[in-house]
Amino acid sequence: MPRIGSSPFAFPAFRGATRRLILVNLAAYFLLLIASVATSWAAQFEVWATFNPVLFLHGYFWQPLTYSFVHSGLLGTLFELLSLWFVAGFLESYHDANWVTSLYAVSVMGAALAALALYLCGSTLAPSLLVGAHPLYGCFGGIFGLLAAIGLLYGDVQFMLFPLPIGIKARYLVAIYALISIAMLFGEQRMYAFAQLGGALAGLVFVRTAPRRGFSFRLGFALSESWYGIRNRYYRWKRRRAARKFEVYMKRQGRTVKLDGQGHLLDDDPDDKKRWN
C-alpha cells in the first residue's frame, strides 16, 4: 500500500456505515438506560444480551453479536463511540460502507470467539485464568479490528497522539494498543484483553481474505446471479415451448418448420422455397 501522508487529529465525515453504527449503539445505550429506570427487566436484558460463555454454550447463540450493543457508563460509552467514529470513518474514506460494516461485524464476533476460547481453556486446563472474569459487553472488539485494519493497510498515516501534540504512525499506534492489551492479560481484565486481541486478529484475517466490497456485497451478488439464472432458464423454457407449438401449428398447415432451442429458424436448404409456397 502506498504512503498516504499525514492526517491531522480531526474526526472524519459522519456518514454511511459509520453513522449507522454510531446511531445504533447510541440508541441501544439510551434504550437500556431508560429501561433501567422505567422497568425492572433491564438487568435481565443485560444478562440476555451480554456475552457469557456459559450461557452461549447453553443455547444463547445470539450473544456474539448483541453484546457489542450493551454499554455501561456515560464516559466509557462516549469514549467507545468516539473511537468507533474515528476509525470507522477513516476506513470509510477509502472503502465502501459494506466493507466497513463487514469488517466491524467480523471483528465483534472474533472478539467473542476469543473470549469463548479463553473460557474453554481456563475451565479445562487452568481455572486461574477465569478469576475475575465477567460477561463481555461493549464494542471495543470491533474497534480493535478496525484499528488493526488501519495499521495493516495505512501504516504510514500519521495521527496526533491525543492529548499530546505528537504525531505517530498508525502501525505504531496499533502496536501500543496491542502491548497494552497484552499487559492486561496478567490482570483481572484478561478476558477483555484477550477478546480485544481476538477482534484485532479477526480484522486482520478479514482484510487478507475478504472480497474488496465485503461479504454482504458478495452475498448480494451471488443471490442476484442465482435469481437471474433462474429467470433466464424460465425464459428459455418458454421459448422452447413456443417453438414446439409453432412447429406443430405449421405442420398442420402443411408446412415444415424447424426451430432450435432458442426459437431461431433452422433452414437446412436455403434454396428450397417450396415449404413457404
Domain count, the chain: 2
| Angstrom distances, CA of residue 143 to CA of 177, 181, 198 | 11, 13, 11
| Helix residue spans in 93-189 (DSSP H) | 97-124, 140-153, 170-184
| Domain edge (last residue) among 210, 227, 259 | 210
Q: Are 38 and 72 in the same domain?
A: yes
User: Which pLDDT belongs to residue 4?
Assistant: 45
pLDDT per residue as tens digits for the range 37-71: 777 777 778 888 899 888 898 889 999 989 999 98
CA dihedral of residues 261, 264, 268, 273 (deg, nearest 10): 140
Could you tell me if 212 and 157 are in contact, meaning their C-beta atoms sit under 8 angstroms apart?
Answer: no
In a domain, 10, yes or no: no
User: Which pLDDT belongs to residue 268?
Assistant: 53
User: Which pLDDT belongs to residue 111?
Assistant: 94
Cell of 259: 426451430
Q: Which domain holds residue 203?
A: 16-210
State the pTM of this model: 0.71
CA dihedral of residues 162, 165, 166, 171 (deg, nearest 10): 30
Domain of 62, CATH number, reads: 1.20.1540.10
| C-alpha to C-alpha distance for 27 and 32, rounded to whole angstroms | 9
User: Which pLDDT belongs to residue 10?
Assistant: 64
SS3 159: strand
Could you tell me if 67 and 50 are in contact, meaning their C-beta atoms sit under 8 angstroms apart?
Answer: yes
Cell of 226: 442465482
Could you list the pLDDT tens digit for every one of the 277 residues in the chain? 434 444 445 678 888 999 999 999 999 999 888 887 777 777 778 888 899 888 898 889 999 989 999 988 888 899 999 999 999 999 999 998 999 999 999 999 999 999 999 888 877 776 666 665 678 899 999 999 999 999 999 988 888 766 666 778 888 989 998 999 899 888 778 888 899 999 999 999 999 887 665 555 455 555 555 666 676 777 777 777 777 777 777 777 777 777 666 666 666 555 554 444 4
Cell of 222: 451471488
Q: Are 243 and 206 in the same domain?
A: no
| C-alpha to C-alpha distance for 108 and 262, rounded to whole angstroms | 50
Q: Are 138 and 234 in the same domain?
A: no
Q: Are 199 and 241 in the same domain?
A: no
In a domain, 11, yes or no: no
At a CB cut-off of 8 Å and minimum separation 6, what does 175 contact?
151
Percent of all residues in the chain with a pLDDT value above 70, rounded to a whole number: 77
| Angstrom distances, CA of residue 24 to CA of 18, 55, 70, 110, 170 | 10, 24, 11, 20, 27
User: Which pLDDT belongs to residue 179?
Assistant: 92
